[in-house]
A and B are shown apart, each in its own frame.
Chain A
Amino acid sequence: MTDITKEAMMPPRSFLSQDAIQLFYRLLAAFLICAVLAVLSDSFLSLGNILNVLRQASLTFFIASGLTLVVLTAGLDLSVGANVALSACIAGTVIHKTGSPALGILTGLACGGIVGLLNGIMVTALRIPSFIATYGMLWVLNGLTYWYMAGETLHGFPAGFRQIGSGYLFGLPIPVYLLLVFLGIGTLFAQRTIWGQEIYAIGANPVAARLSGIPVARRLLLVYAVSGIMAGLASIIFLSRLNSAEADIGESLTLPAIAAVLIGGTSLFGGVGTVFGTFIGALILTLVLNGMNLLSVSANWQPLVTGIIVILAVWLDMKTRRRAQ
């Protein structure tokens, strides 16, 4: 099939297309939360707190941005958190042993990418449903990490390396720059490249995508590898921000990342959603926890409120989509 027919089948998705309504609702929700918090807490709208929220949202966003691509193909990557944990522990060891942050960063990204590639191979070559393949991978990674760390923690990294996660540049936290860069790359990749368009097409209808000549397996491999590499990047940010690595960090990262993707309006059935939406999703999750901390809301209510927001977001999503159809 020629490129011309491919183009005809998939008109380039503009930022103001069918996803625009979804994004509008997300932004509205984020603004409403901000407005309520600004009224309730004096310190909420301070510049310090806004940067604080952005920096906190960045870690969830890095993991969730790669995951968004996977979900766009109607897949799921449950191993992202465990991947962050293993990559952080290995990258941390490399930095300790060699004293070279650069080598550590490369190792972390490579480790994340390899895990992602293995996920992709299981999904494409072995045809295991992604939910099961990555769930299995989650256990494999946890096992490896627990065995490798043997109950120890790694801590204490060079000051220069610490700058990545905790440093500032022109008054902005460095993770916020990285967030903007990856938000830009992710959005451009998904909306403006043929590969991105093909990923949407695979999620919308895998059979049609294959028949129209899209190399489905190769694109899926790419998507899982990217998800893994982003987990590797998150592991580096985690290491340099927390100054430590331990085996059990994964569990607390996976669900917020999945929640960010869903709150951001990406459909679990594939083909619909944006990386920008995921950013708003990560922001909403962070805002809610930030707000509850600022207002000293009792600890008991925090998981409950988060859960309700995830349910509301998915419900709103299905409702507006039905109306749009």
Chain B
Amino acid sequence: MTRKLGYLALPLLMAAAFTSQARADGETIAVFTKNQTNPFFQTVRVGADNMAKTLNAKTLQYIPTKPDSIPEQLSQIEDVVVKKPSAIVFTPVDYKAMVPGVEKINEAKIPVVNITDRSAGGKFLSFVGADDYSLGLETARFLLKTLGGKGNIVIIEGVKGSLTNVDRVRGFNDALKEAPGAKLLASQPGNYQRLQALQVMENLMQSNAQIDGVLAANDAMAVGAIEALDGANRKAQVIGINGTKEAIDAIKSGKLLASGDYNGFAQGCLGTMMAIRALRNQPVIAEIVLKPTVITKDNYQPFDVPLEQRTCPTFEDAGKLGAK
């Protein structure tokens, strides 16, 4: 048994020996994302691959088979520490629970960049992410501006207590406070699920004769709400968050008012860029919090390009993209 394990470990050790040699390019970057189900992380992965290719490095993708599984990501970290990639680009499946995992990476002295969800602990070269609060705030402000600062509004929340949902909904509510003419009718959970959002919207339409605006904490729920409105032959302005392909299509066809771009592609690009730059002893930016972009019918064109054909921002752009 131990001999067998020894044989297994041999190629790994050889790989580790090769990768630990100082080289100008050909680095291996391990990219950790949360799941295979949310289209957002697909954009992150394509962005990371794109940047690695441009810089003549390569990526290894680590994705839990069970979405957002804490134990699975932890064991993937254990695997990667043995495998010793040149650097890691890391999205924690849970910003608190994965801290011991990050500490393992730190102990193994593998350089690591944090993207998307800010880890509650551990040492990182750099953080690249979007700001959920300002995404909520800016999309809601846009909706209220479109409605002339008044009207009956409902909020469809994501998973209660999740980091993204808390901040997005806080942003929605703060924008509503700025518009005294607008009335919040209800704030109900759709758990980021299309079907649940559709049913919540159907129920809310029963008790509210007039709904003018819907603030959904992600695009799938926004589209679910639109299906419910269509089914009842009613109209309301709906916004979502994430800037998925589906949302862009809905904006194009005039069904969705706007979506807040969570900018997964840029997060993947820039996280990988920072990791590779650090390996090559080039300066990195310690923190990039991407400015929220509200995608509307006036500016959707750059987002209506297949992911594979998009180009990563340059290092010079990176400085400008950050809000902080």
Contact = CB atoms under 8 A, between A and B. Distances in A.
Contact of A300 (B36, B160, B196): B160
Interface string A148-168: 011111011000000000100
Contact of B203 (A52, A146, A246, A253): A52
Contacts of A125: none
A56 interface: yes
A241 B198 contact: yes
Given A48-B206, A241-B227, A244-B246, A296 B188 contact: yes
Contacts of A142: 65-66
- Tier of interface size on chain B: 35 or more
Nearest to B230: A166
A34 to B, nearest CB: 14
Interface string B198-215: 111011101100000000
A155 B206 contact: no
Nearest to B253: A156
B185 A296 contact: yes
B36 A150 contact: yes
B249 interface: yes
Interface stretch (A25-33, A97-105, A217-225, A287-295): A287-295
B249 A155 contact: yes
Interface in B33-74: 35-39, 41-42, 45, 65-67
B199 A244 contact: no
Interface string A232-261: 000000100111101111001100000000
B189 A302 contact: yes
A46 interface: yes
B297 interface: no
B189 A151 contact: no
B36 A299 contact: no
A166 B229 CA distance: 11
Nearest to B209: A43
Contacts of B110: none
Main secondary structure on A side of the interface with B: helix
A242 B189 CA distance: 18
Contact of B244 (A150, A153, A243): A153
Max chain B C-beta neighbours (<10 A), residue from A44, A156, A293: A293
A246 B220 contact: yes
Contacts of A152: 39, 42, 245
A18 interface: no
Given A155-B246, A293-B203, A242 B194 contact: yes
A299 B188 CA distance: 5
Contacts of A150: 36, 42
A205 interface: no
A166 B231 contact: yes
Interface in B94-113: none
B306 to A, nearest CB: 11
A294 B223 CA distance: 21
Contact of A248 (B65, B67, B202): B67
B187 A299 contact: yes
Nearest to A291: B203
B279 interface: no
A293 B220 contact: no
Contacts of A42: 207
A246 B194 contact: yes
Q: Which of B66, B207, B249 has the most CB of A within 10 A?
A: B207
A320 interface: no
A194 to B, nearest CB: 37
25 contacts: A52-B206, A139-B65, A143-B65, A146-B37, A146-B65, A150-B36, A151-B45, A152-B39, A152-B245, A153-B39, A155-B223, A155-B249, A241-B198, A242-B198, A243-B223, A246-B37, A247-B37, A248-B38, A249-B194, A252-B195, A289-B203, A290-B203, A296-B187, A299-B157, A299-B189
3 interchain residue pairs of minimum CB distance: A151-B42, A293-B203, A248-B37
Interface of A: 41-44, 46, 48-49, 52, 55-56, 59, 139, 142-143, 146-147, 149-153, 155-156, 166, 238, 241-244, 246-249, 252-253, 289-290, 293-294, 296, 299-300, 302
Given A152-B245, A241-B227, A242-B198, 7 more contacts: A52-B202, A146-B65, A150-B42, A151-B41, A153-B245, A243-B223, A302-B189
